[in-house]
Amino acid sequence: MSDEISELPTTYRYFGQQFQLWRQAAQVRRETVAEATSYSVDMVKSVEQGRRKVPARMAEIADEMFGAKGILLAGLSHLKRDKFPVRAMDFMIYEDQAILLNWYENALIPGLLQTEEYALALISGRCPPLDEETVAERVAGRMERQALLTRTPPVAFNFVIYEAALRAAIGGPEVHRRQLLHLLDAGAPHNVAIHVLPFDRTIPPALNGPMVLLETAEHEHFVYFEGQSQSQLTSDPDEVSTQAQRYGMIRGEALDCAESARFIERMVAEG
C-alpha cells in the first residue's frame, strides 16, 4: 500500500469499499451512478477508493439504486477524519494503555510535551500540505493525548530531548520561547522526567533517530519508530531489547532533571 493511500481517513476508505460492493452486487456501472447523481465518473471512483467523502446526494441516490434499503446511508454519520495519521494508529492505542513511556527525540519536541501553537506550526507546515480541517483535527488529537500526563493512576514518563530539538525555532521566536517555558512546567509533576542531551554529550546512538519504548498494564513491551513517511511498532523481544539498550546509553549521557531545567532556563534567557 502506498503512503498516499495509507494516509486516507479510515472511515472514507471503509465507506468506499462498502459503496463499491453494493454497486457491484447490484450490477450497476460507475457511469450509471455518475449520470444519475450528476457527478463525474472520476468522483464515483474517488469515493470508492476512499479519496473523497461521498456527497450526501450521491449516497442517497446510490442507496436506492443499489437496493441497500438505508444500510449504505447509515454510514454517512460515521464519515469523520482520523485524528491521527493512519500509520500511527496502533501506537496511539498502546500509548493510551501505557504505564511507562521512555521517549527520545532528536529533532522535535515530543508530541506529549508540545504546546498547541508549536503543534499547529508543525502540522500545518507538512509537505505535501494538509487541508485546514485535517490540520485542526490533528492538532486537537495531539492535545487530547496530553491527558496521559495527568492520568490517575499516573503514568511514568521519561523524556530525553536532544539539544537540536530545543534549538529549532518551530513557529518563530515567540512560539519557540513559549514552548521552552512549557517544558519547564511540564517537567514539574513527579511522574514526568525531562532530560536534555547537550551537543557536547552526543554519542552515535543519539543520531539514529527518535524512539518510544512503552510498557502496558499487562506488561507488554513495545518500541515505536517514526520517520519521514513510515513508522513501525513492534513487540519483538530482540528489537525491544536492542532499542532499550540504546535508550539507556542516551539517557546515561543526558543531564539530570535539575540540570536539564537549568539548561532550558538559560536558553530562554538567551532569547
Residues 253/163, Cβ–Cβ less than 8 Å: no
Mean pLDDT rounded to a whole number for the chain: 90
- Per the listing, cell 450526501 goes with 56
Q: How many CB atoms lie within 10 A of CB 105?
A: 22
Residue 80 has pLDDT above 90, yes or no: no
pTM over 0.85: no
- Beta-bridged to residue 192, according to DSSP, are 157
Residue 167 grid coordinates: 534549538
Identify the DSSP state of 72. T
CA distances (Å), origin 68, targets 20, 28, 63, 139, 140: 12, 13, 5, 37, 35
Residues 149/157, Cβ–Cβ less than 8 Å: yes
Please spell the DSSP secondary structure of 76-95, one letter per residue.
Answer: GGG----SS-GGGHHHHHHH
- The tens digit of pLDDT for each residue in 147-186 reads 999 999 999 999 999 999 999 999 999 999 999 999 999 9
Closest to 187 in 3D by CA, of 216, 207, 166, 168: 166
What percent of the chain clears pLDDT 90, i.e. is strictly above it? 67
**Which of 91-105, 187-201, 240-254, 256-270 shows the lowest mean pLDDT across its residues?**
91-105
Query: Which domains are seen in the chain, by residue range?
Result: 3-78 (1.10.260.40), 86-270 (3.30.870)
Separation between Cα atoms, residue 98 and residue 169, nearest integer Å: 30
Most confident of 50-54, 123-127, 260-264: 260-264
- The tens digit of pLDDT for each residue in 97-125 reads 999 999 999 999 999 999 999 999 999 99
